[in-house]
Amino acid sequence: MARSKPLKLYRNIGIIAHIDAGKTTTTERVLYYTHRKHQIVDVHDTKEGRASTTTDYMEQERKRGITIQSAAVTTEWRGHRINLIDTPGHVDFTIEVNRSLRVLDGAVVVFDGVAGVEPQTETNWRLADQYHVPRLCYVNKMDRIGANFAHCVKGIKERLAKHALVCQVPLGSSDEFCGMADLVAGVGYIWQSEDKDSPWETVPLDELPGRLKFSSDADNDWLANLPKLRQDLLETALALDDDAFERLLTSGEFDPDLLMRCIRKGTVSGQLVPVLCGSSYRNKGVQQLLDAVVDYLPYPGETGGIATVDEDGNVTGEQEVTDDAPARALAFKVINDQFGTLTFCRVYSGVIKKGDTLLNATRGKKERIGRIVEVQADDTREIEEVRAGDICAFVSLKETETGDSLVDPAHPVLLERMRFPDPVISVSVEPKTRDDVDKLSLALYKMVKADPSLRLHVDQETGETVLMGMGELHLEITIDRMRTELGVDAIMGKPRVSFRETFGKAVEHTYTHKKQTGGSGQFAEVSMIFDPLEQGSGVAFSDEVVGGRVPREYIPAVEHAVRTELQEGQVAGYEVVDFKARLVDGKYHDVDSSALAFEIATRQCFREAQRLSQPKLLEPIMRLEVVLDADYLGDVIGDMNRRRGSISEQGQKGSSAFVDGFVPLAEMFGYINFLRSATRGRGTFTMEFDHYEVVPAGMVEQLMKKESK
Ligand SMILES: Nc1nc2c(ncn2[C@@H]2O[C@H](COP(=O)(O)OP(=O)(O)OP(=O)(O)O)[C@@H](O)[C@H]2O)c(=O)[nH]1
Ligand SMILES: [Mg+2]
């Protein structure tokens, strides 16, 4: 079968933003206007469970009115196939944005026209920078009281993109918002009503000031400034083409098609970020946003292919996006439901057909592609084949996890990996009833497999099962989903901070394990060096023994012992991170040595060496933003200091004040209650993990006491 749609007519895009900016609301409109559905469901109508938006279909999403997992939909606009992923804005689910951006070619960043740039928008923006994803800004909610386009654009330019290019200007704001001036087309669009099917009138720019009068001076100023704003846009965009720029400056002439091509070129290359506006809820501006997606965002491969890497992650080359190359796909999401496993993939090159066998190059295992489906949120449609540029799901793969490369077995290669965030909060998990005892570990294993920002650990001494995640909501929802999706009920303990430990300095240490009990004895001696590594480096092991002083067959036992022992460090039983363990020497005995003896020796060696290294305790430090009434600023800042926090920025956001800073997570439990009472319920905060820091020596004991309560 030949390709039915040329690659140039594809757009794979994500919608990203801070929580509540209106991503799901916008997605609903996109599906309506592209005729994928006949009715629009509003997010606030889903709580009673009678209705569901297409992308927030999960029970937990409907009840809470927030998006928890990314959902993919496919639609058509102006002959283009649009694969769109609606992502969550809550910081606890950042893995969903991460994995989506990894496989998408472009993104629409949504802003709340009142709040402007919010913390999670900044985080997601940085993620899009990391993955080099070109984007558009869409200032939504222009109909809300207090909507302020100027404030939003200023925030975008100062905090995110100096090169933001205002392509549309709102006509009015709050309840007077009636449409937008399109500086590229040189016309205004005025909607007759807020009905979803309301037509709009197209009016030349120079007639707008005569037609419209608003109660706010700021809104009238935008109108008065339209000619200048258009000139600015022309100069910035046409500067990307020397001839066009010259002509504009000398004769004021320009070619409208060339102008669009320049904006496209600038957006795709990351030199420009177009800014649009609208109100998805009031059905204004969504069709224009879709036009911009088609006009300005890249098709698969337009910004280059995907990097190929070696086993250590070093880039070895690039795979172009084309059908005429060996098959190469990346798994970016795995979900389990009652029908089995769905593995979401982005195909980068080649053609994959039902019945093909691929190689999971990450794990060295073969996978047979039984069924291929196109996914529409929670619905699937079976298809025969997928090609370069496609996003699809394979059904019932056995070996493949998030981030794995699936490739043509005749041309094995690894594709660039994704980065996963660090879980910083943990809870103990216990089965609720006897019935759940046996099923619990399998269910937890499934949840962790589907979500790489979760981690599972069984405490060796107490046997307690510990689940680690990004935040309290993340863990709560994981346990709740286990109940609704897998039918296993569990009880969660009190949330605790995931502290970590390190080696304070390099240590060389030898331990001899010798035991003589009746018959054969046990003997093993290991000499090891533990070198601390830079934060975030992980754990490495190297065998540097020469002359067979530790026989090869015992080396895996030594490495295994290190990797087990590091789970519970000597300062307070937390995971030991960022070090390299080097086995440099040892002794063995022909009869008395065994893998077990070497394991015991290594574990003791590790414990003693860590104690000798003046080990340190690390704690997660969170980036905190509080938005509040300026009157309460003093109290909130004083409190942040008491919580061992530091302030990094403070200022004004529209009519509210804000404080940004860094605070240890250990001091932040129950913060919501403090903030509510300190600001009479009017303050809000967002918090996300930033980095780990050494706990001051004097604080360790005090903190550990608090933790054990
Ligand atoms: N006034 C107004 N409200 C809007 C607009 N767009 C969305 N909303 C409302 O804002 C709330 C959040 O909308 P969502 O679409 O769920 O926001 P989201 O960005 O998907 O949120 P998360 O997925 O949870 O991050 C809902 O109550 C919407 O009805 C808009 O243009 N104007
Ligand atoms: Mg949403």
42-54: per-residue pLDDT in tens?
888 877 767 788 8
pLDDT at 1: 65
The closest-lying atom of ligand 1 relative to the alpha carbon of residue 42 is: 29
pLDDT at 518: 67
Most distant CA pair in the chain, distance: 104
Among 216-230, 456-470, 488-502, the least confident range: 456-470
Q: What is the average pLDDT across 481-508?
A: 93
Percent of the chain with pLDDT over 70: 98
The CB of 67 under 6 Å from ligand 1? The reply is yes
First to last CA, the chain: 65
Which has more pLDDT, 231 or 681?
Answer: 231
Confidence of residue 709 (pLDDT cuts 50, 70, 90): low
The CB of 17 under 6 Å from ligand 1? The reply is yes
Is the model's pLDDT at 371 over the cut of 70? yes
Side-chain half-sphere CA neighbours of 565 within 13 A: 23
pLDDT at 311: 83
Strand 273-277 and strand 135-140: the pairing is parallel
Confidence of residue 255 (pLDDT cuts 50, 70, 90): confident
Closest C-alpha among 451, 623, 486 to residue 93? 451
Q: What is the average pLDDT across 271-282?
A: 97
Measured by CA distance, the residue closest to atom 23 of ligand 1 is 67
* Phi, psi values for residue 93, rounded to 5°: -110, 30
The closest-lying atom of ligand 1 relative to the alpha carbon of residue 140 is: 31
C-alpha 630 – ligand 2 centre gap (Å): 30
Measured by CA distance, the residue closest to atom 13 of ligand 1 is 22
C-beta separation of 486 from 105 below 8 A: no
The CB of 175 under 6 Å from ligand 1? The reply is no
**Shortest-distance ligand to the CA of residue 57:** 2
Please give the Cα distance from 133 to 180 (Å, whole number): 26
Q: What is the pLDDT of residues 313-369, one digit of tens each?
A: 889 999 999 999 999 999 999 987 666 789 999 999 999 999 999 999 999 999 999
Q: What is the average pLDDT across 156-180?
A: 96
Measured by CA distance, the residue closest to atom 26 of ligand 1 is 43
Q: What is the pLDDT of residues 407-434, one digit of tens each?
A: 999 999 999 888 788 888 999 999 988 8
Please give the Cα distance from 275 to 676 (Å, whole number): 35
C-alpha 46 – ligand 1 centre gap (Å): 12
Confidence of residue 480 (pLDDT cuts 50, 70, 90): very high
The closest-lying atom of ligand 1 relative to the alpha carbon of residue 19 is: 25
The CB of 31 under 6 Å from ligand 1? The reply is no
Q: What is the average pLDDT across 156-175?
A: 96
Residue 221: CB partners within 8 Å, gap ≥ 6?
none
pLDDT at 503: 97
- Burial track 72-97 (b if 16+ CB lie within 10 A, e otherwise): bbbbebeebbbbbbbbbbbbbbbbbb
C-alpha 425 – ligand 2 centre gap (Å): 24
Which has more pLDDT, 295 or 656?
Answer: 295
Measured by CA distance, the residue closest to atom 27 of ligand 1 is 44
pLDDT at 74: 93
Question: How many residues are present in the chain?
Answer: 709
pLDDT at 653: 74
Which pair of tokens denotes residue 410?
Answer: 């005749």
pLDDT at 377: 84
Please give the Cα distance from 35 to 280 (Å, whole number): 16
pLDDT at 673: 85
C-alpha 646 – ligand 1 centre gap (Å): 32
The closest-lying atom of ligand 1 relative to the alpha carbon of residue 87 is: 23
Is the model's pLDDT at 147 over the cut of 70? yes
C-alpha 454 – ligand 2 centre gap (Å): 21
**Shortest-distance ligand to the CA of residue 65:** 1
Measured by CA distance, the residue closest to atom 32 of ligand 1 is 141
C-alpha 25 – ligand 2 centre gap (Å): 7
The closest-lying atom of ligand 1 relative to the alpha carbon of residue 89 is: 25
Question: Ligand 1: which of 15, 18, 24, 25 to mutate, judged by most atoms within 8 Å of the beta carbon?
Answer: 25
Q: What is the average pLDDT across 596-605?
A: 96
The closest-lying atom of ligand 1 relative to the alpha carbon of residue 44 is: 27
Q: What is the pLDDT of residues 57-107, one digit of tens each?
A: 888 888 888 899 889 999 999 999 999 999 999 989 999 999 999 999 999
Give the SS3 label for residue 437: helix
Give the SS3 label for residue 234: helix
The CB of 22 under 6 Å from ligand 1? The reply is yes
The closest-lying atom of ligand 1 relative to the alpha carbon of residue 282 is: 31
The CB of 25 under 6 Å from ligand 1? The reply is yes
pLDDT at 23: 95
C-alpha 78 – ligand 1 centre gap (Å): 26
Please state, rounded to an integer, the average pLDDT across all residues of the chain. 92
